[in-house]
Structure 1
Amino acid sequence: MTKGFTLKASEPMVNGFDPSDIERLPPRTREQVGDRERLLGPGYRLFYEEPVEIVRGAGTLLYDADGNDYLDVYNNVTSVGHCHPYVVEAIHRQLTTLNTNTRYLQQSILGYSEQFLGTMPDELGHVMFTCTGSEANDLAMRVARYYTGNQGIIVTAGAYHGLTADVSAFSPSLGVGVPLGPHVRTITAPNRLRHGGDDDVVATMVREMREAIADLQRHGFGIAAFIADTIFSSDGIYADPAGFLQPVVDAVHDAGGLFIADEVQPGFGRTGRHWWGFQRHGVVPDIMTTGKPMGNGIPIAAAAFRPALLVEFGRNIRYFNTFGGNSVSIAAAQAVLDVIVDEGLIDNADKVGSYIMSEIATMAGGYEQIAEVRGAGLFVGVDVVTDRDSNTPDGEATLRVVNHMRRRRVLLSASGPRGSVLKIRPPLPFSIADADRMLENLAVVLREELH
């Protein structure tokens, strides 16, 4: 099937397959990879040095074509677990009844919206539905620009917020091939490891925020919004110090801008104790966005707003999204909300996540190449460095760990500077037994890969 087709090597990437290595793959995998690039083109990427063919999922496990199970320690999109039977049944039941858009009155979307907004502070009173987090962030930024009359956007230096043309222009983690817009400025993430203690981190962020705002104003853009993933997952996973966001947000508000909390990754209880990552910081955003974890992978996303932001926007701008908030996606979202509550998944994230962080922190004591273990709930980062004296990020070592874990059928990934932070972000039902399986394998891999 690959006759007449030549694979081209892609640029190096975090936790990705390099097409120039295709000849090293087993025959079936080699053929599939070749067909994939021939049919889908070179823009797509695959995880791991040796890609995994997945044919089935259940709970926290994925299965390959030979029936081998893989422990999923990465997929937050299937937030309540792969093929959760309650969610599957809700989707099937709705699909056999009706699937249409938000231009018809439907009680299901009203009931869901009431409960969804009920997980947030009272200040967030309206919700608008989209299909993806990228669309939600695009919509949020449209509203922010319309309300403030400004164009400028501030993000952290390693942020990812989506793939639309507009949103990719303020997603620096996409790399040099996707340049930032002239209206975008970056500040450093809250990195205590490399920027001093808690007070220094906050002071640095506030200072850089004020400098970025001044630069946007000097160039005529003004400040429309500061948008942040509230656990800074693409920057390297930063959850502390508690409350550090408030003075940063205050600086944005003082300049007339809005704060948008991107909750696609930290939301829906992932960080434990709270529904949303911003609640850990004691701040209330002007706009909150979320994405596909909302429907356990079924395409549904949303932006929640302070109602005042939508008065003029709603009066003057027509918003319609054919598939945003369709009947089947709302059924999936409702089922996910039910499961999170009924199965106590927020408490589970807190309990199991604390156990994982404690165990890895103990493990890390024996390695000069592990500088810090950090996170909240079921969102954990392990910072891998060349040595603790320099704290130089070591993406190569991290990638060795990721791929060795894949060979042991435990799937995780990496983020942060040079891809140097192990990214542990499993489905919310992840159990202590699942954690022990991961930890046992990680102990072996660290002994063999970190010297």
Structure 2
Amino acid sequence: MSKPLMLNAFSPDSLDELDAPTREMIARRQRVLGPSYKLFYEHPVHFVRGEGVWLYDPDGTPYLDVYNNVPSVGHCHPHVVAAIARQAATLNTHTRYLNDLILTYAEKLVATFPAALSNVMFTCTGSETSDLAMRVARNFTGGSGFIVTETAYHGITSAVSEISPSLGVHVPLGVNVRTVPAPARYRADGSEVDDIGATFARDVELAIQDLQRHGIQVAALITDTIFSSDGVYSDPAGFLAPAVAAVRRAGGLFVADEVQPGFGRLGSHMWGFERHGIVPDMAILGKPMGNGIPIAGLVAKPEVLEDFARRARYFNTFGGNPVSCAAALAVLEVIEREQLMANAEDVGQYLREGLRALARQHENLGEVRGAGLFIGADLVEDRGTMKPDPALASRIVNGLRRKQVLISASGPSGHVLKIRPPLPFSRENADQFLGVLDEVLAEQR
């Protein structure tokens, strides 16, 4: 049987190892949902309830969530739940009617951005937003070329899958798409990069030149500003600026994908691009903005949208509906009231220090990197060369799951532990995670 395309995916080869109720539920999924839907973990988990940073199975067993960023302010946050219920009982329609709530949310959202980014177009998903960003970039620049990183993920629509190489070799990249290596300190050959910013900019310039050699004008460089699918790359802060300058010199735009790093997750700033001292032409937002309720958006410079608005008829029935906006407004209120950015900064630093302490005890735990509550930790065969060990990463992820701790993996080899809990994650939660991870690492010796 072929290897699953998704990292940390359940394989039907393990079906006989599961209990009868789990096997039956998987069979029901297969019958009604078909083969495209994948499950996490060697032994999939059945959840019936969530609260804060915890998920609960049918027996009431709690699992510590160190992975899910969509419920950004915590599973089933009461303030968000109440806002959704209140608005659902009042009105839910679209943006072709005047509605004060939609405007209030839009104003509060764009106020968190630099002044140059003052318009927002609402969608339902990050994929829709990425698709819209591509359309706007083509219209504004007259170009059709896009540059992304080698393991980027920006969505699943037909157009966006062409700039999402992480979907696998059977999902072809667009002919006008060029990929560049992730801004990693270590290369696949074990060599170390001295100046990440200069190296990344040079790679972007080479991609621009290759597009031009084929008669293609660059439309945009699009990056997730924490490079999550590439393996989580955050430092040194500011390294993105030279690449952004390079694409603008060539007449292209810079689009910051903030679906995963945004909304305060990186601690020091509300948006990932701010850590690099740059202002994008557009920013892509996704489902964390509604704590899981489908709402997403494109925040952009007005001049970038102006000609597109004149030329294109754009409408999204559910994008920006009042119920979703109520959820999103409540999320911003919770982030502010509960000081979740400060918490992400504090607990994230605590977590990274704890992981680095574990690395001094476990030779296979390599580089630890990230910002706020978005952390990547390499699992390696050889710490000297940083040679990836994806098999070990899979064993660690599944070993943690057996001990009721949820994370996943990232990176081109699937060897990077992807640590990305809901924002209320505490130092006590961090201690529990670090303790269990220590146990699971020790079991691999």
Normalised to the residue count of structure 2, the TM-score between the two structures is 0.98
Match of 1:284? 279
The CA deviation at 1:328 is: 0.2
Match of 1:225? 220
The 3-state SS of whatever aligns with 2:382 is coil
In terms of mean alpha carbon deviation, does 186-195 or 297-306 score higher? 186-195
Match of 1:74? 67
Match of 1:4? none
2:329 is the alignment partner of 1:334: yes
Amino acid at match of 1:395: P
Distance in 2, matches of 1:120 and 1:83, equals 27
Match of 1:41? 34
The 3-state SS of whatever aligns with 2:218 is coil
Deviations 1:182-206 (A, max 9, x none): 1100011111133766643222211
Match of 2:159? 166
Amino acid at match of 2:387: T
The 3-state SS of whatever aligns with 2:81 is helix
2:122 is the alignment partner of 1:143: no
Distance in 1, matches of 2:209 and 2:310, equals 32
The CA deviation at 1:312 is: 1.0
In terms of mean alpha carbon deviation, does 123-132 or 201-210 score higher? 201-210
2:124 is the alignment partner of 1:131: yes
CA contact (8 A) 2:193 2:199 kept: no
Aligned length: 443
The CA deviation at 1:20 is: 2.2
**Structure 2: runs of 5 or more not aligned:** none
Match of 2:173? 180
**Structure 1: runs of 5 or more not aligned:** 1-7
CA contact (8 A) 2:335 2:341 kept: yes
The CA deviation at 1:369 is: 1.4
CA contact (8 A) 1:352 1:430 kept: yes
Amino acid at match of 2:141: T
Match of 1:441? 436
Amino acid at match of 2:286: G
2:76 is the alignment partner of 1:83: yes
Match of 1:65? 58
Distance in 2, matches of 1:215 and 1:80, equals 43
Give the alignment's Cα RMSD to 1 decimal. Answer: 1.2
Using the aligned pairs only, state the percent identity: 59
Deviations 1:58-77 (A, max 9, x none): 00000001110000000000
Match of 1:321? 316
Match of 1:408? 403
CA contact (8 A) 2:5 2:168 kept: no
Distance in 1, matches of 2:7 and 2:83, equals 36
Match of 2:393? 398
Match of 1:297? 292
Match of 1:362? 357
CA contact (8 A) 1:12 1:18 kept: no
> Please, which of 204, 210, 223 is the counterpart of residue 199 of structure 2?
204
In terms of mean alpha carbon deviation, does 29-38 or 87-96 score higher? 29-38
2:87 is the alignment partner of 1:101: no
Normalised to the residue count of structure 1, the TM-score between the two structures is 0.96
Distance in 1, matches of 2:29 and 2:409, equals 24
> Please, which of 231, 238, 242 is the counterpart of residue 243 of structure 1?
238
CA contact (8 A) 1:206 1:248 kept: yes
The CA deviation at 1:387 is: 0.8
2:271 is the alignment partner of 1:306: no
Match of 1:3? none
